[in-house]
Amino acid sequence: MEETRKWRWGINRWFVFLFIVLGVFAARAYSPILPHVQLPAEELAGPITLPFVGEIYLTNTIVATLIVDLILLLLAFAVNRAIRSGELVFRGVVGAIQTVLEALYGLAESTAGKWAKQFFPWMASIVLIVLLANWMELIPGVDSIGQVHSVEHEGYPIQELGQLGNLSIVTIVKENAQAVSESTHDSYSIVPFVRVVSTDLNFTVALALIVVVMVQFYGIKALGLSYFTKFINVKPIFSKPIFGVIDFAVGFLEIISEVSRVISFSFRLFGNIFAGSILLFVIGSLVPVFAQTIFLFLEFGVGLIQAIVFGMLAMIFMAQATAGHGDEAHEGA
């Protein structure tokens, strides 16, 4: 048995205690409100007219996407530098990334077999991007710090906290209903600077379309043009007369199943994360002190599982597409 270290007072627990106390005081001083929730992402900056695409806006989910990309690029540079330095054992962040990637590669090998090397970049990229995007809603400041702008109804009065240059930092104050209806000339609502990317349908549908297109691509790469006999299956009509027509109809159903995969992928991720963020808003406005912590843990788990499920389903569909028509019977799913 090694000798145990003498128990000492740690420093981190005091930080946690300090944040809890600050949180309790902040919740008592300025009660949180239920923000205005809308399905499309809110725009922050005005329209930029591109020649081919038309008008695009800078929405707050684009800001979140840029932050996710920045974090991933920094991680990639860190891993690159650690590999170039020639050590065998990595420590810290790079070691953690190595563990995660090894686990993902193990999953890829057990599912895809000999195509694992080609599928692994797609699956791991999707898992890392969706994971970072989902976990951004746990960071304080996301979905809560933003611009205030006045609305006609359903707004709250504001109070100025301080000045920063010539920007004034304001906070929304929740008065009782009487005070709001009397002073209707100042009712404000908040548009967050950063909103969780997965709550934007553009992001999830884009990822789903990429996955479905890449599944077809790998199917053609593995089987050649006979991959399309999965969908348009004319030969069994001639070889086995009556049941061949059933095979043809099954091929037609496969096309519908591919389209429904796009919808299923995108709405699974979107629904989980959007519902989770609304849940955090509602609980945060009702019981701001301790109850939201439990739901933050739930969102942590949900974000992780949805990212892994997205990546694994993408890889399983790719593996099915390359497996060929004959093996379909015993693969199921």
Partner 1 sequence: MDYESARILGKLIGAGLATLGMIGAGLGIGVVGSGALQAMGRNPDASGMIQTNMVLGIAFAEAVAIYSLVVALLILFVG
By the criterion CB under 8 A, which residues form the site for partner 1? 37-39, 107, 110, 264, 267-268, 270-272, 274-275, 278, 305-306, 308-309, 312-313, 316, 333
Q: How far is CA 102 from CA 78, 107, 113, 116, 120, in A?
A: 17, 9, 15, 13, 11
Instruction: Quote the least distance from Cβ 39 to partner 1, whole Å.
Output: 6
Instruction: Quote the least distance from Cβ 109 to partner 1, whole Å.
Output: 12
Q: Which is nearer to partner 1, 189 or 233 (CB)?
A: 189
Q: How far apart are CA 262 and CA 266, in angstroms?
A: 6
Instruction: Quote the least distance from Cβ 123 to partner 1, whole Å.
Output: 14
Closest CA to 130 of 255, 4, 316, 313: 313
- State both tokens at 238: 């001639």
Q: How far is CA 274 from CA 60, 62, 126, 137, 325, in A?
A: 15, 16, 19, 10, 38
Instruction: Quote the least distance from Cβ 310 to partner 1, whole Å.
Output: 9
Q: Which is nearer to partner 1, 88 or 333 (CB)?
A: 333
Q: Decide if 312 contacts 178 (C-beta within 8 A).
A: no
Q: Which is nearer to partner 1, 94 or 311 (CB)?
A: 311
Q: How far is CA 115 from CA 102, 154, 174, 316, in A?
A: 16, 55, 57, 11
- Determine the 3-state secondary structure of 137 from DSSP: helix
Instruction: Quote the least distance from Cβ 148 to partner 1, whole Å.
Output: 21
Q: Which is nearer to partner 1, 37 or 70 (CB)?
A: 37
Instruction: Quote the least distance from Cβ 40 to partner 1, whole Å.
Output: 9
Instruction: Quote the least distance from Cβ 100 to partner 1, whole Å.
Output: 16
- State both tokens at 17: 């205690």
Q: How far apart are CA 282 and CA 37, in angstroms?
A: 10
Q: Which is nearer to partner 1, 186 or 254 (CB)?
A: 254
Q: Which is nearer to partner 1, 246 or 253 (CB)?
A: 253
Q: Decide if 108 contacts 116 (C-beta within 8 A).
A: yes
- State both tokens at 254: 């496969």
Q: How far apart are CA 204 and CA 212, in angstroms?
A: 12
Instruction: Quote the least distance from Cβ 152 to partner 1, whole Å.
Output: 15
Q: Which is nearer to partner 1, 41 or 82 (CB)?
A: 41
Instruction: Quote the least distance from Cβ 104 to partner 1, whole Å.
Output: 12
Would you tell me how many other CB atoms lie within 10 Å of the CB of residue 93?
Answer: 13
Q: Decide if 71 contacts 194 (C-beta within 8 A).
A: no
Q: Which is nearer to partner 1, 38 or 163 (CB)?
A: 38
- In a 13 Å sphere around the CA of 112, the CA atoms on its Cβ side amount to 30
Q: Which is nearer to partner 1, 51 or 332 (CB)?
A: 332
